[in-house]
Structure 1
């Protein structure tokens, strides 16, 4: 009778625990791929070498888990092709016992808030269709008064013809469609909102930039909820979690410290008077999230994947994209064994700058 009572109490207690707090079994195999920045050929080569997807982008990873650590977009011309692959794999992998996690990077957040300063022209061209010219012309006419006012606020004597010519130059065909796709209700915006900023898998914590001491006391669920809210509202405030230099999408302080770069300056934790060192901050994150290692992207190096702090930090941004000219790599985690792999770069045509 006592055993039965204890069992019922355990069942009730388990039911009261939030599902997110219940420990999940660690994946048998995890493959992490760093920042891709529009390099579709590099992505396909890495995915094939890692046994995650074949030459056609179909899932071949079995029960493995793929984590792409963010920053698929910008710098290169073919992020749409990569995202389409990831979208498809996110549906295919679970049918075979696998999983695909596409983390949010700071560049995905930039797209959601209309910060297009690093967009390759090829990204816009991928969204152009037969009505793009007419759509652009109509957009100009509808907003003509506001556009002219904005230009003349900077250059009072600028003619209407010169304003239109300049606006058309900075609004290439496909840009309007690209911008709309990244709105919260757009195809790519909806996809981004479905993706997390932080994920914990077994003994590993994955995040694009890093977890600073300002966020280390917050749960994975809380961070992801705040990021999602900021993206939905397209919050461009510098203090918003998606723009905060010490937030999970931008922070580099687990890798380097530089007083002139706010994204590398560690905040002073509550109850303390001094900022932690890199090792102290890494240990704080490991302890608070109950993991053995942190896997990040965001801070590029052409040297390949870098192991830091005695295996507690793994940097996967090996400047994969041809825009940077680094190495094609992926990180493999099987139990406690963590292995960095390098992949030959495939031959391909030069990217157009037009």
Structure 2
């Protein structure tokens, strides 16, 4: 049990766009999970940035597929990089789009199971120790009561020791930033769950037939509303296993799901509904590299990029109707592979 007590501020969130006009090139990058070195390596290899991290991608569009947070220590550094590039890329006609991943949503709602200790360290400042002490003093009675209610109960001294152990320096600042209405909470709230670019859909987890009956704008708006501050907000949509943050059914089907329509039939209906020819997903790691299925209509680009998973660095490049998978091999060399051409019949 972790008890976090802090004062939180709020500000307004910006809107995001779900449809992007045809760019010359799209680069899609999967789950990064706090690995800043891998992120910068991919930026350089893709030609989107130089060795200093400055935008060199011209009018290309970068789509980062979500799950920047958790499992690694440098989530904040990657977020700051993306926020900076989001401002500088348009100078050259480029654009940066970050999708909402389930791990960003988890941080917002306080599910901290996968937060790496280094992520808390990134939020520390010279006042962190005094801030933690002050928070303890201000909330001592409530904290002691909560720990006294455990089985077995903890006495006052044990409660203090336990709370300090479970509240590392930087954790209060991390929660203040990520909670609904906090700086990163608001940043995450304005990220789209789904975008469509040149007839290609991008969603972190996937798209189920049950949750694909509305427009992209309507789906994004529903998820955005669930990320807003407020005690009475219904946040169930961002934990929905059939929603775009969590769904894996475009790739995997447990035996218990044998009543669902076949994967390819579901995909065909989803693509037709949104007027798209491909769906690109992340979320479900494939440590052997980027994979495709359904005749190139589905592309899976989470290759376990971060050190936590130990998979290969990779990115997907879309040029017109072409799709090229780029993967860094064990020797550090980048290899490229053309993927199957998806049918254009459904594209609008």
- Gap regions ≥5 residues in structure 1: 1-19, 267-273, 348-354
**Residues 327, 234 of structure 1: alpha-carbon distance in 2 compared, 3 angstrom cutoff:** farther
What TM-score, normalized to structure 1?
Answer: 0.85
Q: Secondary structure at the match of 1:32?
A: strand
- Alignment of 1:300 with 2:296, yes or no, is no
Other-structure match for 1:15? none
- Alignment of 1:51 with 2:47, yes or no, is yes
Other-structure match for 2:201? 205
What TM-score, normalized to structure 2?
Answer: 0.86
Instruction: State whether residues 113 and 234 of structure 1, in contact with CA within 8 Å, keep that contact through their aligned partners in structure 2.
Output: no
Distance between the aligned counterparts of 1:69 and 1:220, measured in 2? Answer: 16
Q: Secondary structure at the match of 2:266?
A: helix
2:91 aligns with one of 90, 95, 98: 95
2:326 aligns with one of 323, 337, 341: 341
Instruction: State whether residues 281 and 302 of structure 2, in contact with CA within 8 Å, keep that contact through their aligned partners in structure 1.
Output: yes
Distance between the aligned counterparts of 2:316 and 2:330, measured in 1? Answer: 16
Q: CA deviation at 1:185?
A: 2.9
Provide the alpha-carbon RMSD of the alignment: 2.1
Distance between the aligned counterparts of 2:192 and 2:231, measured in 1? Answer: 17
1:136 aligns with one of 122, 126, 132: 132
- Which aligned segments of 4 or more residues in structure 1 are displaced greater than 3 angstroms? 233-239, 344-347
- Alignment of 1:275 with 2:271, yes or no, is no
- Alignment of 1:329 with 2:323, yes or no, is no
**Residues 78, 279 of structure 1: alpha-carbon distance in 2 compared, 3 angstrom cutoff:** same
Which protein shows a greater Rg? Answer: 1
Q: Which moved more, 1:134-143 or 1:317-326?
A: 134-143
**Residues 157, 297 of structure 1: alpha-carbon distance in 2 compared, 3 angstrom cutoff:** closer
2:21 aligns with one of 20, 25, 29: 25
**Residues 239, 102 of structure 1: alpha-carbon distance in 2 compared, 3 angstrom cutoff:** closer
Query: What is the CA deviation profile of residues 50-69 of structure 1, one whole-angstrom value per residue up to 9, with x for unaligned ones?
Result: 01112222111100000000
- Gap regions ≥5 residues in structure 2: 1-16, 333-348
Q: CA deviation at 1:224?
A: 0.6
**Residues 236, 175 of structure 1: alpha-carbon distance in 2 compared, 3 angstrom cutoff:** farther
Distance between the aligned counterparts of 1:38 and 1:255, measured in 2? Answer: 25
Q: Which moved more, 1:152-161 or 1:195-204?
A: 152-161
- Alignment of 1:232 with 2:217, yes or no, is no
